[in-house]
Amino acid sequence: MTKNTKPQHDIPLSDVMLAMDIADTIRHRERIVEKELSAEEREKALFEKVKATYASQGIAVSDATIKEAIEAIEDERFAYKPPKTSLFTKFAHAYINRKKWGKGLAFIGGIVGLAWAATWAIFTLPQQRELDEKAQAFNQSIVTANTNKETLQSRLDSLVAELNRATKPKDPQLTALFDRQKQTAFQLLKTSATHIDAARTLRLAPNFVPQNFKEIDPKMSGSLQILERQQQELSKAENKLNEAELSIKQLHQLNLLPNELLNLRNQAIEIAKVAKAKSLAKEFYRQGLAAIQGLDIASANGATTDLKELIDDLQLNYQLKIVYRHGERTGVWRQPEINRNARNYYIIVEAHSKDNRTIQVPVINEETGTVQRVSKWGVRVEKPIYDQVARDKQDDGIVQNNIFGNKAYGELEVNYRFPTNGKAITQW
């Protein structure tokens, strides 16, 4: 068929549409004869076949329209030509086929998401918490160090003021000792102030974040070292302040203890009515002064305690009464461990004041060697005295001769009415 046909723009639109439909029909029919016929015969056969097909459908088609359709097929005018492959066409095909690959991609995305979540929960989250805790602990350490510095500074100021208030003792023998001790305290405070100033220059701001601890960079490492140095300086300052505080306390005691010891000694001598008590008061005073001169403040305080207890003992005034109340033991006996064949006998007594109140007094327990303050204890006697008291009680349940002894004001010892060596027990 010749290709010198009428231009397409001169053909009515309805004929063009019809020609396109005919061309489509021809494409389907063409497969029937394309293998067996020549080109001319195939064109004629298609012409007749198409004309017959439309005629059977009651559609009048002109020969020119059929020929136009056949020519269009030959020219591939109505044939679909796919666009050239490009990045845009690939995206377009991928979008059109999204239902095919979308589910798989979503499944893979879900697996990746679950894996990420598990990794975050198992590894990332604990690591983040650890970093948070490190940052919080470090910032708290900084706050604590800065607070300690201020506390130590305040303590230093108080001790300086207290040192300035210390006065020299009246005893000339203690003046030189006082001066040396004051100088020692001053040097300790001065050293402490030096350490506090050093800690002040190392002050850090508590603004560190977890990221600082993920990888310790030189800046972070330097901050750790600064904090450690600051803590060391504060520790040294605190130690020196402790020593200075003790030294200042000793300064005050150099002035106060001699007077206290002297007053206690004089009080004990005034109360004492026996030479033994007066001698003890003078000995305790001498021991206290010797301790002060040696800056043994603990021993000096011990001497004041001994004097106070001596005064308390001298002031005691009581009667020892034999216990015979119903349900209570009046006497007991013991087998000493060193001689299981022997027996030690004790009468149970109770200390009563003048107004008949029970009072506690210091008693040495011969079995333990310790001093206990009790109101009731057992006094050791020989068996005849033990039996004598027992017979007194057996008559009517009452011990008629129940006054075992008296302790007079100003004396140390009990004046016993029954023979005894004074040894005692506090438990039975």
Q: How would DSSP label each residue in 347-363?
A: EEEEEE-TTS-B--EEE
pLDDT at 32 over 80: no
Q: How confident is the model at residue 364 (pLDDT cuts 50, 70, 90)?
A: very high
Q: Crossing angle for the helix pair 172-201 and 218-271, nearest 10 degrees?
A: 160
Check if the beta carbon of residue 253 is closer than 8 Å to that of residue 178.
no
What local confidence, expressed as pLDDT, does residue 55 receive? 76
- Measured over the CA atoms of residue 290, residue 296, residue 301 and residue 306, the dihedral's sign is negative
The pLDDT > 90 percentage for the chain reads 50
Q: Which residues of 135-171 are buried (b: 16+ CB within 10 A; e: fewer)?
A: beebbebbeebbebbeebbebbeebbebbeebebbeb
**Which run of H or of E encompasses 105?**
helix 98-119
**Residue 5 above 70 pLDDT?**
no
pTM of the shown model: 0.52
Mean pLDDT of all residues in the chain?
84
What integer pLDDT is reported at residue 28 of this predicted model?
A: 59
Give 75's pLDDT tier (boundaries 50, 70, 90). low
User: Which has more pLDDT, 53 or 361?
Assistant: 361
Tell me, what's the pLDDT at 18? 64
149: tokens are 């510095």
Instruction: Compute CA distances 381 → 109, 177, 334, 369, 386, whole Å.
Output: 101, 53, 12, 18, 7
| Predicted local confidence at residue 56, as pLDDT | 77
What pLDDT shows up at residue 35? 47
Average pLDDT over residues 214-239: 85
For 97-147, write each residue's pLDDT tens digit.
666 666 667 777 777 777 766 665 666 667 678 778 888 888 899 999 999
What is the predicted pLDDT for the residue at 60? 75
